[in-house]
Structure 1
């Protein structure tokens, strides 16, 4: 077995004090996202891990891309028949995590998940490159397939059937997580990290510091 216990890193890039942080988690997220986008060192600042739970209570995670965020919540798009889609249909709660390694930052978000409107899904689908739109038709996401040739054949079939202006598949669209918990983590020296938590209590955000 490989021994990785010797790996160490000292986190010393930044701090997260209450005097620095916004009283509103969405505003704090917007600030950190802008900094991640502008940094030039984070390869995919829009990549986030989504965690869902099966009916048997078994958790699973996968990486998706955030496509929008506002006061209503955090939005991403996927196949509703995928494993995460099925799990969210049975248990409409999830957790998200952004890990901006190069900035020594983590953002965690928890809340209820709902589908976005058909109009929102249609608009985003129409904005995608043609290959991606056809791919939504071609991939039976999370299902077992015999080989990559199945995807290639499905894509060719979708192109022949739908042409240059395919409509959005009815099984494909957006999810929105409506947050009721946020956490902002900033790595600090000696493992004395900064952790600021926001909980929704009676319609107001309560900010608290957590021990690392």
Structure 2
């Protein structure tokens, strides 16, 4: 189960002279152009109260110079873990184009205004789902979950659906960002940028 990498231009430190965000955006665009399924999916790693790591895939809904944003129920397992320990990591993995990006840093909630702006772009079905699901909590059956969705639809029939009070955005502010690019003979390109004194320092890592 091996594959060869390469064929595109070698990742170079100079690409990151303006920071991590432009390159991440370009690589995300390349993943979209290559028809990668869910190109904005990223694996979020957190640590629970016992120090055990937990990972799950979430969708990146914003990229800006201050970090990447995703949305969740604030009562979910990941949100509770981030409240206890705000340090986290997210990884975008695009095997189809032989690239990966990992951001590590602290996570904080976004403003309610930012959440409301994003909420207005969500499909109505997704909005209803956020009201129906008590994320990460046990439920007896699929039928109960579907009934909760039906109840939510009836509750908000014929009217705009407000943002649930315990739902919103989370922003990961990266202290370091590592770019990985697959190369032949497993001599992959790895370049990490780290925040220092208001600027980003790039260093190449051995594969």
Short-chain TM bin: over 0.9
How far apart are 1:46 and its partner, in Å?
Answer: 0.7
Unaligned 5+ segments in structure 1 are: 1-6
In the TM superposition, residue 108 of structure 1 has moved relative to its aligned partner by 0.4
**Count of residue pairs the alignment pairs up:** 205
Which of 10, 14, 18 is the aligned partner of 1:16? 10
CA-atom RMSD in angstroms: 1.3
Q: What pairs with 1:92-131 in structure 2 (closer than 5 Å)?
A: 92-131=86-125
Find out whether 1:193 has 2:188 as its counterpart: yes
Given that 1:15 and 1:194 are in contact with CA atoms closer than 8 Å, whether structure 2 keeps it comes out as no
Is 2:38 the partner of 1:68?
no
CA contact (8 A) 2:11 2:181 kept: no
TM-score, normalised by the number of residues in structure 2:
0.95
User: How many Å separate the matches in 2 of 1:139 and 1:203?
Assistant: 41
| Structure 2 portions without partners, runs of 5+ | none
Indicate the SS of the match to 2:2: coil
1:46 matched residue in structure 2: 40
> What is aligned with 2:27?
32
- How far residue 14 of structure 1 moved from its aligned partner, in angstroms, is 2.6
Cα distance in 2 for partners of 1:166, 1:200 equals 40
In structure 2, C-alpha distance between the alignment counterparts of 1:19 and 1:72, rounded to whole Å: 21
Instruction: After TM superposition, give the deviation of residue 158 of structure 1 in Å.
Output: 1.0
Q: Does 1:83 align with 2:77?
A: yes
TM-score if structure 1 supplies the norm length? Answer: 0.92
